[in-house]
Amino acid sequence: MSEDRAATAEERVGFFTDTSVCIGCKACEVACKEWNAIPEDGLELTGMSYDNTGDLGASTWRHVAFIEQPRADGRTQLPLLEGQSAKTPDGEMRWLMSSDVCKHCTHAACLDVCPTGSLFRTEFGTVVVQEDICNGCGYCVPACPYGVIEQRPVDGRAFKCTMCYDRLGAGQEPACAKACPTDSIQFGPLDELRERAALRVDQLREGGVTEARLYGEDPDDGVGGDGAFFLLLDEPEVYGLPPDPVVTTRDLPTMWKHAGAAALSLVGGIALAFAAAAGRGRA
């Protein structure tokens, strides 16, 4: 494993996304694209959903997921907003919305596999791709347990959320959090966000929203906790998130040890073979 878990000079910061107050306005997507000069993509309604961007990718660093499903039990997930209707010809609908983003993992597999140092851990604890150093090898794409990183087809270079690294250096919050009208996206010191999120879950459960849960906040999970974590109102799979993400390079230390032992054994065998041959020659 790389030494990306080392303490940073600055306090680690991150995102807490409270999906219970997301209204699906996509202001975060627009702000992200405008600030980071990201090319347009998506923008095509399929007729099956109001989600016109589909997923995270090289040109979508923030993606507002729309989960539109009929509820067999006739309940909506949360009280409806004024003027909002959940009725359809087939019965009740539930609308879940969540602004997804790179998780800025504590144990980031993308850092482990990058051969050029294009991916690095910043002083804020975030993970950034340096596009001018990326050679387009694509190793980081399958390494990400969340399927966040993608290569642009034009030149093969990888791109993802930087948590607005340039804004952080200037003492500003990321553009998406700044633009969010409901504070669904909250930015700040990671420890403070985790405390705030736990209180929010308790508040929702006391109000009868028993499905409320946190995702990605646990430092003991398979990626050491995420720098961008979420309050969800259903199972992670409903939002297209893996239920138990694990850093894909977790076995690298063991693999290198085995490879080293095998190499030593091979060298030793070759040395013995040469020694035996030399002994026969003298005989």
Q: Compute the distance between CA of residue 128 and CA of residue 8 in angstroms, rounded to an integer.
A: 14
3-class secondary-structure state, position 76: coil
Q: What is the pLDDT of residue 42?
A: 64
Q: Compute the distance between CA of residue 128 and CA of residue 105 in angstroms, rounded to an integer.
A: 11
| Whole-number CA gyration radius for the chain | 23
Averaged pLDDT for residues 250-259: 47
Query: How remote is the C-alpha of 167 from its chain's centroid?
Result: 20
The 10 Å Cβ neighbour count of residue 94 is 18
User: Quick one: pLDDT band at residue 74, thresholds 50, 70, 90?
Assistant: very low
User: Quick one: pLDDT band at residue 6, thresholds 50, 70, 90?
Assistant: very low
> Which residue intervals of 139-251 are DSSP H helices?
140-143, 165-169, 175-179, 190-206
Q: Above 70 in pLDDT, residue 4?
A: no
Sole residue written with tokens 């051969």: 115
Q: What is the pLDDT of residue 179?
A: 97
Q: Compute the distance between CA of residue 56 and CA of residue 147 in angstroms, rounded to an integer.
A: 8
Q: What is the pLDDT of residue 57?
A: 92
| 46 Cβ contact list (under 8 Å, min separation 6) | 52
- Condensed to tens digits (0 to 9), the pLDDT of residues 163-199 reads 999 999 999 999 999 999 999 999 999 999 999 999 9
> Which tokens in the block code for residue 175?
């553009």
3-class secondary-structure state, position 99: strand
Q: Above 60 in pLDDT, residue 90?
A: no
The 10 Å Cβ neighbour count of residue 17 is 29
**pTM of model > 0.85:** no
Averaged pLDDT for residues 216-231: 95
User: Quick one: pLDDT band at residue 266, thresholds 50, 70, 90?
Assistant: low
Express as a percent the part of the chain with pLDDT over 90. 65
Beta-strand runs (E) in the chain: 13-18, 62-70, 87-88, 91-101, 119-121, 127-129, 150-151, 158-159, 185-189, 213-215, 228-232
> Which residue intervals of 162-251 are DSSP H helices?
165-169, 175-179, 190-206
| 87 Cβ contact list (under 8 Å, min separation 6) | 93
- Please name every residue paired with 97 in a beta bridge, in sequence order, or none if there are none: 66
> How many CA atoms lie within 13 Å of 220's alpha carbon, on the beta-carbon side?
0
Q: Above 70 in pLDDT, residue 253?
A: no
